[in-house]
Amino acid sequence: MMMINLTRNIIGRAGARARGLATTLSSHGERECEWYEDYRKSLYGGVTYKALLVDAAGTLLAPSQPAAQVYRDIGLKYGVSYAEDEILRRYRWAYQQPWVNSSLRFVDDGRPFWQFVVQTATGCVDPRYFEELYEYYATERAWHLCDPGAGKVFEALKRAGVKLAVVSNFDTRLRPLLQSLKCDHWFDALAISAEVGAEKPNPTIFLKACELLGVNPEDTVHVGDDRRNDIWGARDAGCDAWLWGADVHSFKEVAQRIGVEL
């Protein structure tokens, strides 16, 4: 019994020391981050970055309804019989397959790629079904802003002199879609993979965005929801990067980290 108590005491003290060390390291890391942000503000006149790049789908925009639900609801009149969970499983499989027809999935309007995805996900090859589904996702009904306060934040950032761009793996529907959602005027530039000829995580698309904004990559931070495409890709281009939903959870938080208070 004495040995058990002694062992528990040793483990308890070791755990306390470990927790204390973790707290110290965490505190040191927070101070280091604050020092770094203060340093960057001294370089850029009160802000930590000259430019903000934003991912579209999953960060700026989100589907109004789950894709599998939309695929099934529209597809019922065309004979689609798969349940939503089966459509989702098949959709994910199709979307992740290497696209052998081109080095890019989204070439121009992206129709060949999306035809493959839709047919694989639903088993329906009726061209009328594909066209109705494709056109639906080009309308504002299909999308909403992930952060309803985004517009106010972007306007404040622009007033502070921060340049803004969208960087997205998307087809040519994105420009008119942003116009229909009345948010295209928030951005100084759009770097869309179908137009640039490169998809994230290829650094080329991030470098193109920086070129369009007239800034250097090291003066830029990118925000996106995909660790591989957004975080690794941006950093490979020389930009900083924050993961949406982990590093930052709202555009107000993004603005605050850049040094712009609303």
Which pLDDT value is given to residue 126? 98
pLDDT digits (tens, 9 = 90+) for 23-75: 554 556 567 767 777 777 766 767 899 999 999 999 999 999 999 999 999 99
Please give the average per-residue pLDDT across 191-199, as a whole number: 96
What span, in angstroms and rounded, lies between the C-alpha atoms of 186 and 166? 10
The tokens for 154 are 């972007």
CATH dotted code for 35-60+146-258:
3.40.50.1000
Closest by alpha carbon to 53, among 259, 261, 258? 258
Which pLDDT value is given to residue 102? 77
Q: Which residues contact 256 (CB under 8 A, 6 or more apart)?
A: none
Please give the average per-residue pLDDT across 117-144, as a whole number: 98
In the chain, where does the domain assigned CATH 3.40.50.1000 lie?
A: 35-60+146-258
Instruction: Choose the CATH number for 63-142 among 1.10.10, 1.10.150, 1.20.1630, 1.10.3470.
Output: 1.10.150
Share of the chain above pLDDT 90, in %: 77
Residue pair 37/259 in contact by the 8 Å Cβ criterion: yes
What span, in angstroms and rounded, lies between the C-alpha atoms of 71 and 130? 10
In the chain, where does the domain assigned CATH 1.10.150 lie?
A: 63-142
